[in-house]
Every structure is written in C-alpha cells, then in structure tokens.
Amino acid sequence: MIQKATVIGSGVMGHGIAQVFALAGIPVHLYDLTKEKLTNALASINNNLDLYIKNELITPAEKEQALKQIQMTTDLEESLVNSKFVIEAIPEVLQLKWDLYRLLETICAQDVIIASNTSTIPLTKLIQHSTYPERFIIAHFLNPAPLVPLVEVIKHECTSKRVIDTTMSLLKIIGKTPILLKKEIQGFVVNRIQAALLREALALINNDIVDVEDMDKIIKDGPGFRWAFIGPIETIDYGGLDTWKRIFDNLFPDLDNRQSSPEFINKLVAQNKLGVKTGEGIYPYKETSIDNVLTKRDSNFLRLLKIKANKQLIEK
C-alpha cells in the first residue's frame, strides 16, 4: 500500500488534498514554488482542522497528529523522495502540466503513480508526451477537497490495472468515494451533470421565470434535499418510470439547449464580478468577509458529513 504521497501545488485544491492524506495518517509532502504559498497553505489547513474540532469531528490531539504528517518544501526532488503516489493540482494550463510531467518522469521511478486533479483536461492530452503513460491517471477531487466525498477517477486504455486498483484503494483508505469512469469523456461526469442543470437554471433566471435567490432555494430544498441521500436515478425509480417518461417526453423538447454561456454571465465576467473571490458575482459579498462566507459553507458541509456518516453506520 502507499506509504507516502506527494501533492504538487498548494492552492485551494492542493492543500485540501494534502489535508485529506494527513488526516488518514498517510505522510504527505506538499510542494510549491514559494515559501509564501506554503505558509498560506499551512494557515488554511490549520483553520480547516480547527473547524473540524469545533464540529466535533476530530480532537485537538488528532489535529496535531495530522499536522505532523505534512512536510512542506519548495524542492521538487525532496518532495518526491520515497513517494509512490504523486498528484498534481497546478493551474489548468496544458503546457505547465506537460513540463511538470517531463520533470517527474526523469525523477520518479517507473512504478510511481502520477495522478492529476484536473477538472477539464482529458487524460489523452495529459499523457501525450509521456514516456510511461501506463502510470498516469486522473483523480478529480471536488472543491472543497477535504469535505466532498466524491472523487472522479479517469483512466486511459493504456493505464495499467495496478495503477487503477491502487488509486481506487488509496482513495477509499483516505475516506473518499471514488468512482471509476468506464471511458474518457469531455468534462468527465460531475461537471457535465452540473452544467446541464445550470444551463436550465440560468435560462429560467435569464427569462425572468424565477429570481436568483429562489432558484437556489428550489435546488437546496427540493431536488438537492433528496439527492443528499438518494440520487437522481433512484429518485425516478421511486417516482415511477411511467410518470417520469411522460415528464421527459413533455419537457425535453422545451428545455434550454444553448451552446454557450448566457449573456448575463458573460457581462458579469467582463466586469470582473467573478463571485466570492472578487467580492461580487451573481450575489454581492462585500458586506461580509470571504473567510466568514467559506466558514459558513464548510460548517454546513461538515454537519452533512456527520449525518451521512451516521447513516452509513446504521446501514452496516
């Protein structure tokens, strides 16, 4: 089994993935280009773990033990010593990833698994210049990485069975729900489902059928409430396939089928109103700190995690 892991890139996704390994008791090296980035990553991990303590998911002693599992470095070669599983969470720029993989393949032994946390780039493109493409795989964590259980795993026809089996096993050990896609597809599965729902939701807002706030309430207190414990496929089984067939037949021809972003999203992006990270997006965030917004979100996710964990214990 994997005795040590390396995470390359300490940003939002990278430090979260490192935290997951550390909480599972697996030593992890977290690499980035500057000490400042690593200092910020450690501060974020500290805050995250304090939130876990506040929600009674871990003890202060378990926090300290997790922190001891994380070693931070700006030396790439040092970060890779004795590591058998490397996952990169660097920016979604193909050339940057190719340059990194070229370096990794000159440093790492042939049996080291190299994974990408990409959410957009197909594995076919990632391995285009690889010497040993059979050891590459995608492990797409969802944001926030420590809290969302799902990890999409994408293989290529040349990915070895050992790499697939080891990756799936490791993700289960660190408490994730890994789903292996049967074959590669643009956008993977999660983003395709989210994009399909958002296309219709944004069209309904754009066509003045419903307000923004009410759309979020509709999803959170309607389908989202159900989907936390029964998925959409289970939902239509419960509702009756004959009923849902009539719904599909009546609605599918009338659903939005636009091929690009709605205009009001384009305008917001052009105005640099990008959401939480700029203080304003569809909603305004200038009256509260971003840290407070994220803490509230993560506290609710932690409460849901506890409920789902108890449900799994009952089912066992």
Task: List, by residue number, the catalytic residues.
Answer: 119, 140, 152, 191
Classify residue 188 as left (phi > 0), alpha (psi -120 to 50) or beta.
left
**Two tokens, residue 76:** 């790439």
Max alpha carbon distance in the chain (Å)?
60
- The neighbour count for residue 210, using CB atoms within 10 Å, is 14
Element (H, E) at 247: helix 241-251
Residue 236, classified by CB atoms within 10 Å of its CB into exposed (0-12), middle (13-18) or buried (19+), is middle
Q: Which amino acid is at 41?
A: A
Task: Compute the distance between CA of residue 157 and CA of residue 167 in angstroms, rounded to an integer.
Answer: 16
Three-state SS string across 203-224, please?
HHHHCCCCCHHHHHHHHHHCHH
Residue pair 18/145 in contact (Cβ under 8 Å)? The answer is no
Coil vs helix vs strand at 230: coil
Task: Compute the distance between CA of residue 180 and CA of residue 154 in angstroms, rounded to an integer.
Answer: 6
At which residue do the structure tokens 């033990």 appear? 65
Rg (alpha carbons) of the chain, rounded to whole number: 21
